[in-house]
A and B are shown apart, each in its own frame.
Chain A
Amino acid sequence: AQKITQTQPGMFVQEKEAVTLDCTYDTSDPSYGLFWYKQPSSGEMIFLIYQGSYDQQNATEGRYSLNFQKARKSANLVISASQLGDSAMYFCAMREGDSFTGGGNKLTFGTGTQLKVEL
């Protein structure tokens, strides 16, 4: 089974609108972390936001927020007030376990969502 599922291969959004990128995950480990990365066409992988499994509040970083629904195993990324520079591939990723439970901290990525922001 896929550990990270991103069901939207491509998304379009109008400039200044909000957009939600979906991510569901599958793990039996009680300790895990969820990440979102942005990869522009230039190729670099830019860290956006992190949510730990024990965090009580949804993570926010500027225009990015993570809608964490633990029971549904979803960690959707919400980008508010989209800008042309937000056009990129977005990857959801998961770390399972932690240094206390013996987890290796490696990230497992989803297949990504290509976001295009239009005027």
Chain B
Amino acid sequence: AAGVIQSPRHLIKEKRETATLKCYPIPRHDTVYWYQQGPGQDPQFLISFYEKMQSDKGSIPDRFSAQQFSDYHSELNMSSLELGDSALYFCASSPRTGTYEQYFGPGTRLTVT
């Protein structure tokens, strides 16, 4: 079965640089979520999109922005990177109704040096 695809899987950036993370949801899933998991932490919700519109917003820094495109893929743009942004970034997708099961991608491991 098709799963959530994230790219890149690993990314190393320097402080103050920018990064773009991409997410391709499971086919026919119209909702995308982004989560950030710091070292030894539980995942924290950042932002979600339903039908290309932002549907919810969590603890996402103003330096980050995201969008969902017409093909339902989503991109998380991160600017002025800080050391504290080093984390595992997950994208998850789900159908809008039903059991709301969220399926996670493999994650992008971002290291800021």
Check A45–B90 contact: CB distance below 8 A.
yes
Contacts known (A45-B107, A106-B58); A35 close to B97, Cβ less than 8 A: no
Q: Does B68 contact A (CB under 8 A)?
A: no
The listed residue (B88, B99, B104) touching A37 by CB distance below 8 A is B104
Q: Mark B48-92, 1 if CB is under 8 A from A, else 0.
A: 100000011010000000000000000000000000000010101
Residues 52-109 of A contacting B (Cβ, < 8 Å): 52, 91, 95, 98-99, 104-109
Provide the bound-state CA to CA distance between A107 and B55, in Å.
13
Kindly list chain B residues whose C-beta atoms are within 8 Å of the C-beta of A111.
Answer: 42
Check B101–A112 contact: CB distance below 8 A.
no
Tally chain A residues at the interface, Cβ within 8 Å. 23
Q: Does B16 contact A (CB under 8 A)?
A: no
The listed residue (B43, B96, B100, B103) touching A109 by CB distance below 8 A is B43
Contacts known (A33-B99, A50-B99, A91-B42); A105 close to B104, Cβ less than 8 A: no
Check B88–A43 contact: CB distance below 8 A.
yes
The listed residue (A43, A98, A106) touching B56 by CB distance below 8 A is A106
A→B interface (CB under 8 Å): 33, 35, 37, 43-47, 50, 52, 91, 95, 98-99, 104-112
> 4 tightest CB-CB pairs across the interface, nearest first?
A104-B56, A45-B104, A109-B42, A106-B45
Q: A44-B104, A47-B102, A112-B42 are in contact. List 4 more A-B contacts (CB 8 A).
A: A45-B90, A47-B103, A99-B97, A107-B102
